[in-house]
Structures are given as C-alpha cells and as structure tokens.
Amino acid sequence: MALDSYVGLGRSGLKVSPFCLGAMNFGEDGGFGSGVEESEKILQTYLDRGGNFVDTANFYTNGHSEAILGDFLAARPALRDRLVLATKFYGNLHLGDPNGGGASRKAIIGQLEDSLRRLRTDYIDLYWLHNHDRSTPVEETLRTQDDLVTAGKIRYVGFSDTPAWFTAKAHTTALLRDWTPVTALQVEYSLLERTIEGELIPLAQDAGMGVLPWSPLKSGFLSGTYTREQSTPADTRRSAVLGAPTPAQFTVIDAVAEVARETGATSAAVALSWVQNRPGITSTLIGPRTLAHLEANLAALDLHLTPAQTATLDEVSTPTLNFPYDLNRQVGDMLKYAGATVDGVESAVYPPLAASGVRY
C-alpha cells in the first residue's frame, strides 16, 4: 500500500489516500504544535509521497492550522484542485458569542466563511460537523449543509464525534428530504478505543459511509514511547496533561511492542496498520508534529501483519460494548438458525427446542 493507492470515500465518487494528514498540530498556539516551517515540511513530504487528503478544523490552534494551510496553497495555486481538503465546524472562536459556534444556520455559514478566508479558497471538499448540537434541530443543520453544497461552497458532508442514533437519524432524514447525505464519519478508533465497533462501524457499513479514525495511536500511548519502565516520557510534550497509561492499557501496549519486535517495525507502525486494515475503515488520520513523526507513521503502509499477529492484537484489546451487542452475538444465530449450518458456521439449538419435539 502507498499514499497514492487511493480508496473511495464511502459511496461517494471521491477518492482519497489511505492515510489522511491531520493538521491539528499545525501551529504552536496552545503549546503542543509545530511551527510554520515544520508544518510546511510535513505537508510537502506528505504530498510528495502521493498523499491527497488533508484534514483540519476551524478551531485547531485557534485558526492558525487553517491559515498555515491557506498560505501554503496560495503559494501553489495549481495544487488546490488536486487536493481533497477537509475542515470542521462547531468550535466557537468568539468569546461570549452564543451564536459563534454549533450547528445552527447562522453559525455554520459564519464559520464556513471564516474557514474559507483562512484557507484562502472558495470551497471545501469535505465539511464536517464536529459534534452533536443538542439545541439545534437536525433539519436546520442538514438543510444548511445542502444549501452550501448547492452553492458550490462545500462538496461533501461528514459527521465527526456524533452519537450513532443521531447520525442514523440525520442520514435518514437527508435521504428522505433529498438533501446531501452523510458521506463519512470521523471517530476515535485505536487498539485502546474500540467501542465504535458496537454501533458506529455497523452503521457506516450499512449506510455506505466512509470511516476515518482519529487518534489511532491513542494520543501517543501506542507510539512506543510509553513503557512500564518509563510511563511518562520526558520528551513527550503532552505527557504532563495526559498522564500515564493504566495497567489495562499497558497490557495492550505490551502486546503491540511484542508484535513490533516480531516484525522489526515500530509500535506506531503496528498500531496504525491494525487500524487501517479493520473492517469498514477508509482512511486513517495521522497527526504528526514533526517530519520524523510523519516518516515513522508512513512506514505502516508497508507493514503486513500476519493473521496470527492480528488475532493476538484483537484478543488483547477486545472491548466491552453496549447492550445488546453481546446478547445478539451470543444468541442471535441460535434463535435464527436453530442448529442449521449457514455459510460454513454451525449454530446451536435453543435448549427448550432441543428438549421436546412438541410444537404448538
């Protein structure tokens, strides 16, 4: 696999790289990111490797992330249309303004105009709702997004960090109203955060939505810099904020490290390869802070885990999912197939059914 081995984004006609370059760390506002020069090196290297998918948000580094991207593209005007550029709305950058953020019509249009100004472009390829706005009717949000698609200011609609029930309602409403549907979901997913497998991944697969995992290294916990001997690395800027992994998380971290030793790869490459090859995943977001981080992440594209290694990682990271996931998995085939073998898989027989031949 390579960055120029493009994949379709859900059921849309849009083609994107298997790793999406997240620009959350572009800009040093907030104390964690990278300066303009390093950000541009990261971006140029990603593009040189064939990458075409860049993601940011209106409030990342207080808008500086978008501005860095905008200045870079303005200096290379022929590049803009060759790039799939995504940003998000919801975050309020205007202190004390109750209409400055969220998903109302006024807020969406205002945020989009600000993003277009900072990005120095006249359209966004993929525009994400960044959170669930509980106080705005979903019809207002969807109709506004559809109007913006009609106006040519955005091309596709995505949802990020929204509940499965809300996402399903929004997507169905859009289809019934003949509005622009939800093309993709952006959600946290890693060996240390797998609960989206309960509802969000099945929803995306059923509806034909692309899925973009964010934080595939769980804020660096799976990068290889965290060990039981050094649980808060001195060279990790965020360690003071994030704290140390829990004992349960270290069980997974240790398993990743063992697979890394077997393959001769880094823990980061193992964790990224696992995520990108999960069912339903379209393009994994990587958010490098340095050029070295980018190169280390891209090494995952050349890593192929064996079925045994994948099974080991699956088992050690098995999540506890919300009801009724386990119930349906445990008894669904038994109740449906009553002992029949379907697709090569045998089913059990409901005990009362097996105990008596009487039927009413």
> From CA 94, how far away is CA 100, in angstroms rounded?
6
Tell me the backbone φ, ψ of residue 53, rounded to 5 degrees: -130, 115
- 60 catalytic per annotation: yes
Catalytic residue selected from 6, 46, 60, 123 = 60
**How many residues does the structure list for the chain?**
360
Nearest Cα residue to 22 out of 31, 33, 11: 33
DSSP 61-83: GGGHHHHHHHHHHHTSTTTGGGS
> From CA 125, how far away is CA 179, in angstroms rounded?
17
The b/e string for 328-342 (b: 16+ C-beta within 10 A; e otherwise) is eeeeebeeeeeeeee
Nearest Cα residue to 285 out of 56, 37, 6: 56
| 32 strand-pairing partners | none
Alpha-helical regions (H) of the chain: 36-48, 64-74, 105-119, 138-150, 164-177, 200-207, 239-242, 247-263, 267-276, 291-298, 307-316, 325-337, 351-355
Distance of CA 80 to the CA centre of its chain: 23
> From CA 112, how far away is CA 116, in angstroms rounded?
6
Give the CB-side neighbour count of residue 37, counting CA atoms within 13 A: 0
Residue matched to tokens 């085939």? 333
Structural tokens at position 287? 């958010």
- Which active-site residues does the annotation give? 60
